[in-house]
Chain A
Amino acid sequence: MMMSRLKKSILYWVLLSPLMIVILFPFGLMFVTAVRPRDELFVYPPRWTFSEFHWGNFVDMWGKTNFGGALLNSLYVSVSSTALALVLSIPAAYALSRHRFRGKGSYRNFLLMTQMMSPIVLVLGLFRLMVQFGLVNNLNSLVLTYAAFNMAFTIWMLQSYFNTIPRELEEASWMDGANHFVSLTKIFLPLAVPAMVVTGIFSFINSWNEFVLALTMIRSTENYTLPVQIFAQVAGRYQIEWHHVMAGTVLATVPVAIVFSWLQRYLIRGMALGAVK
């Protein structure tokens, strides 16, 4: 029994390995390039090994490329747009989940349809809009557009989860003497935390990785977000410092990946279990 289970897992991992290689290869390359001494960058034939861990690459990169500034910009944009998207989509999803109103079906379809369009189609229009608002080269233009792009998804996700929270819980709290506000804050929202965390993660990652809009809206280097800043290290240069580029990408991806794989447990925590029946 034990053996067969072990064999099964080995078989599954073997079957999964091509996929894993495709996913992990860029990360591996990124990492070994980031920690390589500069003079070992262009050895031929290329090899994975290197003479020493050159952690100084990270320090040099940080100093030379204004990485800290870009990191703060990215954090500001991602956190604000996620917060904005959640603040607006929680009431919207609640209304969709709990109330009957005219046009509800078409509204949901509209949300779904916005997901079928590539943002790049809208870039020109959005740029003109931000010119009108006077927000070009302003990080808040990204906060607004990211929040707007993410909201269709967050509303959709939150509503699906809200539908699974039994209506009777709120009704019971009204009978217990709670008004709608207390019922929302003491009963409903605590139970919706897992859904809010999950949608928040998705929204954050989308904003964190977004490139096209950031490249369009942001002009000055001090307002660059991380993807644009890393891109600027590669595009239009006489000499590309690959070890700096890769050190930047490591710092831009790995910490976020670690934090979110830890937060992911909220995905599977069935808080509403035991509420009813």
Chain B
Amino acid sequence: MASVEIRGVEKAFGAAKILHGVSIDIKDQEFVVLVGPSGCGKSTLLRMIAGLESISKGEIAIGSKVINKVPPKDRDIAMVFQNYALYPHMSVFDNIGFSLKLRKRTKGEIASRVQEAAEILNLQKYLQRSPRQLSGGQRQRVAMGRALVRDAQVFLYDEPLSNLDAKLRVTMRTEIKALHQRLKTTSVYVTHDQIEALTMADRIVVMNAGRVEQVGTPLQLYDTPANLFVADFIGSPSMNFIEGTLARSDIGVVVEAVDGTRLAAPQEFGGREGQKVVYGVRPEHFSLATGDAGSEAVVEVVEPTGANIEVFATLAAERVCAIFNQRHPFKPGDKIRLATDPDHVHLFDAATGVRL
């Protein structure tokens, strides 16, 4: 096990720059998730750690040893690929044991370690099968087995669950997390699914267009997103945004939306009066208000999810989503009043997108 330090790493394919100076410190035993929309450079960064892509500029160190020039086979890293990349002409046993065979371990040792890995992953029954005789979930497990049989210093996961169906994905998510808690191998996990990131990570790195937008624990990112991109990307349904102007009124600081609606804002903030801002509030932070409190909204669509209902309504000329765990009998066209708790409101500068 080892730490991974990424310092000022850049990647360019010809004239096209994919990564613009990324620096991330991954501590020993940590589970770090790189998350971002497709094309943000997260997979490229992972492949650079693996040694499958060259590093155009900057340094990557594993266990404080710079590995820029070290070929992949000598980096002592295990990787789980998105399409699993199982060797189709080998049995499950040989797939898992291949790395040990290359390291010239004895037959007995290979057998016992493959058995051990198979037990952890519930694969004992399938060891003699070939990959094509396995289901998607089982193949995924074999790919995991190939990684964990080795005691590698670092595990890399490149969207390992994206080929599984929704239900299996949730199960495997938990299994991978449990596995990490047990083995404690430093892990870097790439996904475009923010739910995977939130549920699995010790720390999340949000990337966008070749840059790191924010690094933090899942709840840090959820509660205090550093900018509009992170606020929008993390959380599902995503945060509601209403554009407006900071103003002081008889009820304290408010954000005045373009249609004149006044929305309660935190009393202490980093902006100035008259500044154009984006007012952000998460769906679960809306509450129903009566009388003059809150602002009027018109219900458009109601989606029950069982545990709660998601109400889509027009508020201050924007469509917003509010989540309630009471089963309110709203119908499309109903007028309701939505209030926000200023403590849970996020303000961003409209021009730069940076949190105020």
Interface residues of B (CB under 8 A from A): 50-52, 71-73, 77-79, 81, 83-89, 98-99, 102-103, 130-134, 136, 139, 146, 150, 163
Find out whether the CB atom of B73 lies under 8 angstroms from the CB atom of A277: no
Find out whether the CB atom of A166 lies under 8 angstroms from the CB atom of B89: no
Find out whether the CB atom of B73 lies under 8 angstroms from the CB atom of A276: no
Find out whether the CB atom of B83 lies under 8 angstroms from the CB atom of A168: yes
**CB within 8 Å for A176 and B99 given contacts A191-B88, A272-B88, A277-B84:** yes
Task: Report which of A177, A190, A273 forms a contact with B73, defined as CB distance below 8 A.
Answer: A177
Find out whether the CB atom of B131 lies under 8 angstroms from the CB atom of A275: yes
Task: Report which of B79, B83, B102, B150 forms a contact with A178, defined as CB distance below 8 A.
Answer: B102
Residue of A nearest to B82 (CB): A168
When distances are taken between beta carbons in the complex, the residues of chain B under 8 Å from A274 are 86, 88, 130-134, 139
Task: Report which of B83, B102, B134, B146 forms a contact with A276, defined as CB distance below 8 A.
Answer: B83
**CB within 8 Å for A166 and B83 given contacts A175-B72, A274-B131:** yes
Q: Is A267 an interface residue (CB 8 A)?
A: no
A221 CB, min distance to chain B CBs, angstroms: 47
B16 CB, min distance to chain A CBs, angstroms: 14
8 A Cβ contacts from A169-193 to B = 169, 171-179, 182, 187, 190-191
Find out whether the CB atom of A169 lies under 8 angstroms from the CB atom of B72: no
Residue of B nearest to A170 (CB): B85
Task: Report which of B72, B79, B89, B130 forms a contact with A191, defined as CB distance below 8 A.
Answer: B89
Q: Is A11 an interface residue (CB 8 A)?
A: no
B103 CB, min distance to chain A CBs, angstroms: 6
| A31–B72 CA distance with the chains assembled, in angstroms | 61
Find out whether the CB atom of B102 lies under 8 angstroms from the CB atom of A176: yes
A-B interface, 6 closest residue pairs, ranked by CB to CB distance from nearest: A274-B132, A276-B83, A168-B85, A176-B99, A275-B88, A172-B85
A100 CB, min distance to chain B CBs, angstroms: 10
B172 CB, min distance to chain A CBs, angstroms: 15
Find out whether the CB atom of B98 lies under 8 angstroms from the CB atom of A171: no
Find out whether the CB atom of A275 lies under 8 angstroms from the CB atom of B99: no
Interface residues of A (CB under 8 A from B): 166, 168-169, 171-179, 182, 187, 190-191, 271-277
| A177–B149 CA distance with the chains assembled, in angstroms | 13
| A174–B73 CA distance with the chains assembled, in angstroms | 5
| A166–B88 CA distance with the chains assembled, in angstroms | 11
**CB within 8 Å for A187 and B81 given contacts A173-B98, A174-B52, A174-B72:** no
Find out whether the CB atom of A276 lies under 8 angstroms from the CB atom of B72: no
| A66–B98 CA distance with the chains assembled, in angstroms | 53
When distances are taken between beta carbons in the complex, the residues of chain A under 8 Å from B130 are 274
Most chain B beta carbons < 10 A, residue from A166, A177, A187, A275: A177
A167 CB, min distance to chain B CBs, angstroms: 9
When distances are taken between beta carbons in the complex, the residues of chain A under 8 Å from B163 are 277
B256 CB, min distance to chain A CBs, angstroms: 52
A180 CB, min distance to chain B CBs, angstroms: 9
B85 CB, min distance to chain A CBs, angstroms: 4
Given contacts A276-B85, A277-B83, 5 further A-B contacts (CB under 8 A): A169-B85, A169-B87, A174-B71, A274-B134, A275-B83
A141 CB, min distance to chain B CBs, angstroms: 39
| A177–B99 CA distance with the chains assembled, in angstroms | 6
| A166–B163 CA distance with the chains assembled, in angstroms | 16
Residue of A nearest to B74 (CB): A177
| A178–B51 CA distance with the chains assembled, in angstroms | 13
| A168–B98 CA distance with the chains assembled, in angstroms | 15
Find out whether the CB atom of B87 lies under 8 angstroms from the CB atom of A173: yes
A240 CB, min distance to chain B CBs, angstroms: 53
Find out whether the CB atom of B81 lies under 8 angstroms from the CB atom of A168: yes
| A273–B89 CA distance with the chains assembled, in angstroms | 9
When distances are taken between beta carbons in the complex, the residues of chain B under 8 Å from A277 are 83-84, 136, 139, 163
| A146–B81 CA distance with the chains assembled, in angstroms | 42
When distances are taken between beta carbons in the complex, the residues of chain B under 8 Å from A178 are 73, 98, 102
When distances are taken between beta carbons in the complex, the residues of chain A under 8 Å from B50 are 171, 175
Residue of B nearest to A273 (CB): B132
A184 CB, min distance to chain B CBs, angstroms: 13
Task: Report which of A173, A174, A273 forms a contact with B88, defined as CB distance below 8 A.
Answer: A273
Residue of B nearest to A175 (CB): B79
When distances are taken between beta carbons in the complex, the residues of chain A under 8 Å from B72 are 171, 174-175
B354 CB, min distance to chain A CBs, angstroms: 39
Find out whether the CB atom of B81 lies under 8 angstroms from the CB atom of A179: no
A182 CB, min distance to chain B CBs, angstroms: 7
When distances are taken between beta carbons in the complex, the residues of chain B under 8 Å from A176 are 73, 98-99, 102, 146, 150
When distances are taken between beta carbons in the complex, the residues of chain B under 8 Å from A169 are 85, 87-88
| A252–B349 CA distance with the chains assembled, in angstroms | 84
Residue of B nearest to A179 (CB): B73
When distances are taken between beta carbons in the complex, the residues of chain B under 8 Å from A171 are 50, 52, 72, 79, 81, 85
